Amino acid sequence: MKNLLTKWNSISLVKTIFQVCTIVGMFGTTLIMPMLMKKFDYKKIVITTCLAGFAASVVTTVSGYVTNLSSIYVLAPFIMIQSIPLGVINVISSAMICDSLDYMELTTGVRENGLGSACQGFIHKIGNAFSTCGIIVLYMVIGMNPQDMLSSETIRFAFDIDFGQRFAMFSLVSLLPGISMLLCSIPMFFYKIAGKNKEKMLADLKALGMPYGVYVNPYTGYIYATDAGSFAAAGALVQWSPDGTFLGRHKVYINPAHFLALPPDGGEFTGIKQVVASDEPKWTNGTYDLRGVHMSQAPVTGVYIQNGKKKLKL
């Protein structure tokens, strides 16, 4: 009978139950994420699920403490709930990286897809390293041998260890994940690529993909593109350096389609080279039309110039 109890109350069985609950929560969330992402922006989804996961982790921890960890099956539903944010973050993290790359392209003119993938992989590895080290350190603090925990041949009766050790191990999969979810939700309150900001960013990127006008300054090599927007309000002018570095985006007049480049400082801005006085006699007297053409006599009606004064006949 004791062997049977040992089998069904061993640490390995508890670990398996936790893993199954976690997989169910994460995988189920992954299946419904496409539908959620169509209705809500990433910011709301992450904040809501992380706070819900934190609440579920607190309930799980308190319930485990109150029940003296007598039944893992009572805690299983809460474990699945607190696994939901893990599925959300696994899916949305990739989508948020794409949004960040879009923002980089809009503000710098460069899209570093490789940089986004590299940062994601690096962060995952760092997170796994810290979590593994934390678990080992906690085992050592509560007086348990981490090597025994990782051995597939070691089966320990769950109640052979004192309640403090069992609750500390339980906290690793109940309370600590909830705290990490709460911490993850904090920077999301300051995440700006969401809602109307994201819509505007995507609209600006689309406009740059089909600019209203494109121009290269023949004197400096700077590159310009214009966006007409709705064709009824102020447009935009985007500028890059000759090497493609993004320099800025500026508001301009409606439907900006024409460019004029002036020479650098020291250049000439007119086709007139010099002013030479004419040797022809000055016509101080006489009658002229408004174009300066001499007239033999004043017109019957209209505007004309006579003896240096403008006159009007009706």
Percent of the chain scoring above 90 in pLDDT: 0
Count how many residues are written for the chain: 314
Residue 45 has pLDDT above 70, yes or no: yes
Claim to verify: residue 243 and residue 136 sit in the same structural domain: no
Look at residue 155 in the predicted model and tell me its pLDDT: 47
Residue 289 structural domain: 282-314
CA dist 208 and 111 (Å) reads 14
72 pLDDT band (50/70/90 cuts)? Answer: low
Look at residue 77 in the predicted model and tell me its pLDDT: 80
Q: Please report whether residue 214 resides in a domain.
A: yes
Task: Give the number of other Cβ atoms within 10 Å of residue 166's Cβ.
Answer: 19
Claim to verify: residue 217 and residue 153 sit in the same structural domain: no
Look at residue 209 in the predicted model and tell me its pLDDT: 66
- How many domains are contained in the chain? 3
Q: Please report whether residue 201 resides in a domain.
A: no
Which of 23-27, 64-68, 99-103 has the least mean pLDDT?
64-68
Tell me the per-residue pLDDT of 144-160, one tens digit each, with 9 for 90 and over: 766 665 555 444 544 55
Claim to verify: residue 152 and residue 65 sit in the same structural domain: yes
DSSP string, 31-71: HHHHHHHHHS-HHHHHHHHHHHHHHHHHHHHHHHHHTTT--
Claim to verify: residue 179 and residue 287 sit in the same structural domain: no
Q: Please report whether residue 75 resides in a domain.
A: yes
Claim to verify: residue 129 and residue 167 sit in the same structural domain: yes
Give ∠ CA 49-15-74 in degrees, rounded to 5.
Answer: 65
Claim to verify: residue 159 and residue 298 sit in the same structural domain: no
Show the tokens assigned to 124: 């995952």
Tell me the per-residue pLDDT of 151-191, one tens digit each, with 9 for 90 and over: 554 445 445 566 777 777 777 777 888 888 888 889 888 88
Greater model confidence, 88 or 106 = 88
Residue 283 has pLDDT above 50, yes or no: yes
Q: Please report whether residue 108 resides in a domain.
A: no
Mean pLDDT over 124-150 rounds to 74
264 pLDDT band (50/70/90 cuts)? Answer: confident
- The most confident of 2-16, 251-265, 276-290, by mean pLDDT: 251-265
Q: Please report whether residue 101 resides in a domain.
A: no
Claim to verify: residue 47 and residue 76 sit in the same structural domain: yes
Q: Please report whether residue 310 resides in a domain.
A: yes
CA dist 88 and 84 (Å) reads 6
Residue 211 has pLDDT above 60, yes or no: yes
Mean pLDDT over 279-305 rounds to 78
Claim to verify: residue 81 and residue 170 sit in the same structural domain: yes
Q: Which H/E stretch holds residue 236?
A: strand 234-240
Look at residue 1 in the predicted model and tell me its pLDDT: 33
3 pLDDT band (50/70/90 cuts)? Answer: very low
Which of 141-145, 150-154, 254-258 has the least mean pLDDT?
150-154
Mean pLDDT over 192-219 rounds to 78
Claim to verify: residue 81 and residue 227 sit in the same structural domain: no
Claim to verify: residue 56 and residue 189 sit in the same structural domain: yes
Q: Please report whether residue 275 resides in a domain.
A: no
Claim to verify: residue 177 and residue 307 sit in the same structural domain: no
Claim to verify: residue 140 and residue 250 sit in the same structural domain: no
Give ∠ CA 141-144-79 in degrees, rounded to 5.
Answer: 85
- Burial class of residue 178 in the structure, from the number of CB atoms within 10 Å of its CB (0-12 exposed, 13-18 middle, 19+ buried): buried
Q: Please report whether residue 303 resides in a domain.
A: yes
